[in-house]
Amino acid sequence: MNSEETTLKLQNKVAIVTGGGSGLGRAMCIRLARDGARVVVADLNLAAARDTVAAIAAEQGEAVAMQADVARREDVERVARDTVARFGAIDVLVNNAGIVGEFVKTAEVSDESWDRVLNVNLKSIFFFCRQAIPQMLKQGGGVIINIASTAGLVATTAGIEYTAAKHAVVGITKEIAYEYGQQNIRAVAIAPGVIMTPMIENLPKEFLDASADFQKQLRAPSGRPGRPEEVASVVSFLASDDASFIHGNTLAVDGGFTLF
Ligand SMILES: NC(=O)c1ccc[n+]([C@@H]2O[C@H](COP(=O)([O-])OP(=O)(O)OC[C@H]3O[C@@H](n4cnc5c(N)ncnc54)[C@H](O)[C@@H]3O)[C@@H](O)[C@H]2O)c1
């Protein structure tokens, strides 16, 4: 084996992961760091972000925690600025932070839930891309990975505000790929199925028992919900040059949930 073969696939890459303090984001941060990246763990919850950083440091990885509400333009600008000041680049941007809505039917959704879910799950991605793209162009390229959902591909019980945001995430990913692909920026999205994270675990048990989506997940080819690490490994692949010919797609990582 020569030394080239032992180089980690994301060696020296600088990655920002939003919502890196919990669930999928935490697993992504740990995996990207294991694969050689220096990771900015951006989260509303600073203590949670610091906890992820500690887990990475325990494995001799390099990461820094930054507090941010991704729905606030000033916070996004600060994270992008501080990342470049600290590490000199933004090679990988993972727009992962997200929240659920009210889990009610359209006629019952409040204005507040619509605005909050659209701001956190969608507008934040516009904010982050608008900050990161000029830096990526300056560097000669980069990778943007947007975390959508199966609710970005099909109807689910997640509600209209979540469905609207996640379908739009699929769309804006195509748009960014179209606009910047020839300048070596790859934009891709992932549509996770039901993955056991605090987001899902905090839903009432009665809801999960009654949820058509959850039951469908159990009947899907995988026969089970996913683990955060099963999404994190795909993020690491998409962030790497192994995925160099993948532009604008949304990859379902859902155990077969959207097959039928
Ligand atoms: N878990 C699933 O089954 C599932 C399925 C499909 C898609 N997703 C998507 O995956 C992403 C991560 O979900 P998860 O299950 O890990 O959730 P989670 O609730 O476990 O973690 C979300 C993290 O985002 C942070 N966050 C929330 N609002 C924020 C804000 N305004 N600014 C910055 N950080 C914020 C939280 O503090 C938390 O650390 C979300 O976009 C979610 O919609 C999850």
Task: Report how far ligand 1's centroid is from the alpha carbon of 95 (Å).
Answer: 10
Token pair listed for 178: 């179209």
Nearest Cα residue to 94 out of 19, 21, 34, 31: 19
Domain 11-251 has CATH 1.10.3720.10: no
**Protein residue whose Cα sits closest to atom 8 of ligand 1:** 149
Out of 87, 127, 128, 162, pick the active-site residue.
162
Task: Report how far ligand 1's centroid is from the alpha carbon of 158 (Å).
Answer: 14
Strand order across the beta sheet in which 92-95 lies = 62-67, 38-43, 14-18, 92-95, 142-147, 185-192, 250-253
Query: Using a 6 Å CB cutoff, which residues line ligand 1?
Result: 18-19, 21-25, 43-45, 48, 68-71, 96-99, 120, 147, 149, 192, 194-195, 197-200
User: How do residues 200-251 score in pLDDT, each as one tens digit?
Assistant: 999 888 888 888 888 888 889 999 999 999 999 999 999 999 999 999 999 9
Say whether pLDDT at 126 is over 90: yes
- Structure confidence at residue 5 as a pLDDT band (50, 70, 90): low
Alpha-carbon distance of 33 to 39, in angstroms, equals 6
Task: Tell me which residue has tokens 């995925």.
Answer: 243
User: How do residues 68-98 score in pLDDT, each as one tens digit?
Assistant: 999 999 999 999 999 999 999 999 999 999 9
**In the predicted model, what is the mean pLDDT of the chain?**
96
- Structure confidence at residue 141 as a pLDDT band (50, 70, 90): very high
Say whether pLDDT at 4 is over 60: no
Domain ranges of the chain: 11-251
User: How do residues 25-54 score in pLDDT, each as one tens digit?
Assistant: 999 999 999 999 999 999 999 999 999 999
Alpha-carbon distance of 35 to 13, in angstroms, equals 9
